[in-house]
């Protein structure tokens, strides 16, 4: 049986059901206890599972992420919440040199079955240190799976899969998807009551089309779908691929779609240079170049910090209008 849940409610339900199923699963991070998480994803967990399994931590990202790694090595299944991805810098050594590499450095004698959840994205005037995406940084480092859901249904299924995975998984949750009243956007959707899993590394075609392929993730899936509706009214049918995870990357779905539509637009809320958009373009250039009838186009954040000013932030972030214009220009090439 399905109900309508917000993105945040789907996240919370996934954690609750996994904590009920497996006593090794616990949550820790800043304000995850009585406060329920700054974006509402942890509401009700403290009251249900108590302070031994829902643990508020000091503002000490390096310490509590390191504690999570140690707990995972000892056989527990920690979910660690990094409030904003922008704060990862103070725990960079724990993430890049320990969480990602311990399995390799130990010759496979230790696994790190840990989920590091974090909030990403801008669009509400929170400036340069609270508005970044950055998932490409972590996708660049071997040893970390990178999951980026866009809907409540995907969020619940992918989070349960991540918790059950024996490898470290970073789980990126866009703030504007959460469904909170004080944010300028949110999503709701049907979510089954019972626990379920979705495969990591399998993209989802959110909209079928024949004239161009738009590859994207997270909030930009919704911006692309809105642009696709406008394009459709003009007779242009865009196929929207929601990657859902950057590592593993579903290259097959991308290449199959490009072979059908012969045009590719990549939409990314991360920075343009050295990021996801460049990786997708490289995959298609290497494996699907002769299927293209026009050069690959990329729409991403220019290489500047996210501005605090709303007009300037709107100027740098991809949106429905920019996607529509880029897609239309690509089809006309």
| Residue 126 burial (10 A CB sphere; 0-12, 13-18, 19+) | middle
Strand ranges, E, within 248-303 = 264-271, 297-301
What is the Cα–Cα distance from 139 to 154, expressed in whole angstroms? 19
> What are the tokens at 41?
């994803």
Whole-number Cα distances in Å, 307 to 123, 131, 244, 268: 10, 9, 27, 17
CB atoms within 10 A of CB 190: 12
Catalytic residue among 130, 140, 222, 262: 130
Phi, psi of 187 (to 5 degrees): -130, 145
Active site residue 130: yes
Reduced DSSP (H G I as helix, E B as strand, rest coil) percent helix, strand, coil of the chain, to 5 = 40, 20, 40
Q: What is the CA radius of gyration of the chain?
A: 19
Task: Tell me the catalytic residues.
Answer: 130
């Amino acid at each position: 049986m399905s109900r309508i849940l917000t993105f945040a409610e789907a996240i919370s339900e996934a954690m609750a059901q996994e904590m009920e199923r497996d006593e090794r699963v616990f949550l820790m991070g800043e304000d995850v206890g009585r406060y329920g998480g700054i974006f509402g994803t942890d509401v009700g967990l403290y009251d249900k599972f108590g302070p031994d399994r829902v643990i508020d931590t000091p503002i000490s990202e390096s310490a509590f992420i390191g504690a999570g790694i140690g707990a995972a090595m000892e056989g527990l299944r920690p979910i660690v919440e990094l409030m904003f991805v922008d704060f990862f810098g103070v725990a960079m050594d724990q993430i890049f040199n320990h969480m990602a590499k311990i399995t390799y450095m130990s010759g496979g004698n230790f696994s790190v079955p840990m989920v590091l959840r974090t909030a990403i994205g801008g669009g509400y005037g929170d400036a340069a240190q609270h508005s970044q995406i950055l998932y490409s940084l972590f996708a660049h480092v071997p040893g970390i799976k990178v999951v980026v859901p866009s809907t409540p249904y995907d969020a619940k299924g992918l989070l349960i899969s991540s918790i059950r995975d024996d490898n470290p998984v970073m789980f990126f949750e866009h703030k504007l998807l959460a469904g909170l009243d004080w944010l300028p956007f949110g999503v709701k959707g049907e979510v089954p009551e019972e626990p379920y899993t979705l495969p990591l590394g399998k993209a989802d075609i959110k909209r079928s089309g024949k004239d161009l392929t738009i590859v994207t993730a997270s909030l930009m899936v919704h911006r692309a779908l809105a642009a696709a509706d406008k394009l459709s009214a003009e007779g242009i049918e865009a196929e929207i691929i929601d990657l859902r995870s950057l590592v593993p990357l579903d290259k097959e779905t991308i290449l199959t779609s490009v072979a059908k539509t012969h045009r590719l637009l990549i939409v990314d809320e991360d920075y343009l240079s050295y990021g996801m958009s460049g990786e997708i373009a490289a995959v298609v250039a290497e494996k699907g170049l002769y299927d293209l009838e026009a050069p690959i186009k990329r729409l991403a954040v220019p290489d500047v910090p996210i501005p605090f000013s709303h007009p300037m932030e709107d100027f740098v972030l991809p949106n429905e209008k920019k996607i529509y214009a880029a897609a239309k220009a690509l089809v006309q090439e």
